[in-house]
Structure 1
């Protein structure tokens, strides 16, 4: 069995999608559709920068999604492969869940782009700049990371945001609490703790205003049944029903990204092969979670051609 997986924030880079766009009219169509949906030349920003503008959450989220869907569109149109035929499940890391749902036909491309623009803006606006922070704890499991977060909280928000793999857990919350956690992490068993260059404390209770905004935005959106089930971030379990998907996308804004558990659950369900579309971040995580799984990351035309030969 096979899962198609989609990367989250941090996968953006100036130049993303440029070579694929130059090589394929189908990729260009995706970028053009996203540009039109947003009323912005996002594809130009992706191709040329500046980097600080591309990194803004409201731009990075739809850009990463557009890049992943462009890869899929080329795979489907030029290699003649269908996700519904070649994938048993889809999953995405944080915003990648929207890419996965778009890929699986649950939400159309233009709507997905608009939702991610709203999500990015709402997440940025939820907490004043400087009030929140995130940190990566390396060399600890999720239980140890939560113990560090609990010890550092001192009445503030400090909690696990991303359970990425057995050796990397991300915490999120008030800046002071995150800085305390970094200070005590080594003596509590972490190999390293480092502040992340993010503009807001994602996936923690401080994001509740953004969750409210997404509940309103998603309430007016048509969600179809997914062609293949989505392994959801907040449950690490499959979801296909449109109303369940809608609820999980709202919960995801403040909830923990249970990526390690999701990969293990997919493996337990029979998945032996993971295909990452539009990035090269999740592949490494998957290998650290499920060492015997086959993993391929697909970004370029060469990657697409190589994958097409194996499917």
Structure 2
């Protein structure tokens, strides 16, 4: 397999996860079924997914100078990335997230303190120029300060690097910024917030896709969980089928999808083929607990593609 180069700029969070029979009500204390602590953050998760799905990865992030930051360094140093650029600050804590996972569908509720993720400076972004220029793909999200994201996207455009923006967690962004990216990958909730259209199924996703094309976005994939995804390029749509899965933890599903998608595009796959691979990859991911820890291998996703729902 041809290994492309993916540069992932994004957040690192320390995740504290509690497995629950159901979500607690306001003011209620519930005993958790289990709990765990591990590496997370959309940027770090997507970087791990891209790596395990077959890409060469350069991860760029920022942490605090605290115990969680030391944990981040150990995790990232041992992940197997080609390169890691990890900035740090003493003014904010390392990003962290408190996560409930509950019910038979393993749905999640997450509270995030972004901390150092929101403090990336212009000078730090400029230091990343060579890494972005050398990559086939820049993959980024919205869990960092928007000024840094905008500047990274500008560097990628200047150097002909293909840009994937996963607009999660949602924060308001300009239509101009959206029009600068090559591929936008919102889920149904993010797509609703971007367009004002209630996205809950494939037909409503199609309407939202057209609204986003009208904003200047050429290509997008709207992920819809068990309903699959809608790929739309200049208004030409294609359904990306969901693969069967028995979910244990859906926390990392979106990150798995985006990292796997980037890995395949960097390797030269077509957009439909890369999206179908990413769907299979995410379906394996949700059958395991934890986000970064649950990212499958390239081979596991290919095996899952043999049982795609028709």
TM-score normalised according to structure 2 size: 0.29
Structure that is richer in strand per residue: 2
Structure that is richer in helix per residue: 1
